[in-house]
Amino acid sequence: MQKVYLDNAATTQVREGVIAKMQEALALYYGNPSSTHSYGRSAKTAVEKARKTIAKTLNAQPSEIIFTSGGTEADNMILRCAVRDLGVKTIITSKIEHHAVLHTAEELEKEYGISLDYVDLDAKGNPVLAHLEELLAKDASKKLVSLMHVNNEIGNITDIAAIGEICKENDAFFHSDTVQSVGHYPWDVEKIPIDFFTAAAHKFHGPKGIGFAFIRKNSGLKPMIFGGSQERGFRAGTEPFHNIVGLEEAFVSSYENLEEEVKLVRGLKQHFVEKIKKEIPEVEFNGFSGDMDKSTYTLVNVRLPFDKQKGLMLLFHLDIKGIACSKGSACQSGSNMGSHVLTEILDDTELEKPSLRFSFSKYNTIQELDYTIEILKEFAQS
């Protein structure tokens, strides 16, 4: 049976070079980075080298990069510390953010009594910037805006440069969940007025369990995890040195090969969009995912012309045919709940039809996409 992995928005295949670097680190540099002897110093040097490499690529300062266990921890840390340390009384977000942001904001509303406002979305799921400006001007409370760069389910690209300028003009903090865009798009933090953003290595062919937060220098945030003095005192705990080395290698490889790999993956998506429209003409694309300019080149979210009962078997059918994809974000897999993103942008009739997210990487081929669409077509005709 052919095996096809099209769930790269959930996690990606680890690059061979990343595995080799991590194996070397585990075998040779096993000292604790906090130890003062040579073993520890070797590990510490590698950690700081990784931090400097990432910072240079982002045009940031090394002190602005804090290693975390991934995007969820980084999002939680930034939002919680902003409320606790920066006097934030209002969080403005949208109802289609990742749950790492939405659930954290909801908990902060309960714990601290902050106000929680949601910016309006247009029909395709993009935030309405005029409404954002209204929310920012509503009162004099200190505000933090949290809006993601690339939506993990429908792929919409948000104009975070414009949002950053609006926040700057209104003296508000700006945080963005950029887990789906770091490693896939170029970044320059000196050109984008953003205070905080997050990344996870496993979204760009690195290991799971490691990521980082960008925290603008002199932000005023204080530690959320206490203990040792790791990460310049900001996040206690022995650094997972092998994971950090793997993150660095994946990050460097992604940006060194960015132009070539974007062209490749964009070509795969273009082929998929054109082919599925030809073979299943009634297909619809959720959000802007079918638009090559307004959505990320890495995924599509399709709504298929099947009734609800038939749709219940679709994901299972694809799985037994060797095709891995997703009915929503990976964080919802195994849950009977529908996608909170699609619930916000589709009407009841549209929600009755099955929607699937197919996400691509450099390891996919045209042949795999043709096989997938052929299986979908066969299912439609069965």
Output the CA torsion sign for 70, 72, 73, 76: positive
- 211 - beta bridge partners? 68, 200
Q: What is the pLDDT of residue 22?
A: 97
Q: What is the pLDDT of residue 309?
A: 85
Where are any strands of DSSP class E within 94-192? 115-118, 143-146, 173-177
Tokens (6 digits) for 311: 């749709």
This prediction has a pTM of 0.95
For 122-149, give one letter per residue: b (16+ CB within 10 A) or e: eebbbbebebbeebbeeeeeebbbbbbb
Domains and CATH numbers, the chain: 4-12+258-381 (3.90.1150.10), 16-256 (3.40.640.10)
Q: Judge whether residue 156 has pLDDT over 90.
A: yes
Q: pLDDT tens digit string along 74-127?
A: 999 999 999 999 999 999 999 999 999 999 999 999 999 999 999 999 999 999
Q: What is the pLDDT of residue 125?
A: 97
Q: pLDDT tens digit string along 294-339?
A: 999 999 999 999 988 888 899 999 999 999 999 854 444 445 568 9
Catalytic site positions: 331
Q: pLDDT tens digit string along 34-68?
A: 999 999 999 999 999 999 999 999 999 999 999 99
Residues with Cβ within 8 Å of 244's Cβ and at least 6 positions away in sequence, in order, are 46, 47, 50, 67, 210
327 close to 7: Cβ distance less than 8 angstroms: no
